[in-house]
Amino acid sequence: MENLMVIGGIWLMCALCAVLFIRGASAQAPALRRVPVMSRRARLATLRQDVSRDY
């Protein structure tokens, strides 16, 4: 009986980790859709600003 409890506990922890991982991986997907698409000109301007800060 004790062996069944150990095996059941390990199985339960694995199942819980899988559920939390799947929820965490899918929770960020809608946030990517909310990011506005930048034009090519805006992306280049942002890159230029980042480069100029490095120097």
What is the structure's pLDDT at 30? 53
Summarize pLDDT for 19-31 with one digit per residue, the tens. Answer: 888 877 665 555 5
Report which of residues 3 and 48 the model is more confident about.
3
Residue 51 structure tokens: 């480069």
Per-residue pLDDT band for 54 (boundaries 50, 70, 90) equals low
Any idea what the Cα angle at residue 14 is, between residues 10 and 17, rounded to 5°? 140
Summarize pLDDT for 10-53 with one digit per residue, the tens. Answer: 999 999 999 888 877 665 555 555 556 667 787 778 777 766 66
Q: Is 2 helix (H, G, I), strand (E, B) or coil?
A: helix
Nearest to 2 by CA among 43, 16, 41, 10: 10
Distance CA 16, CA 8 (A): 12
Given a contact cutoff of 8 angstroms between Cβ atoms, the answer to whether 12 and 20 are in contact is: no
What is the structure's pLDDT at 23? 76
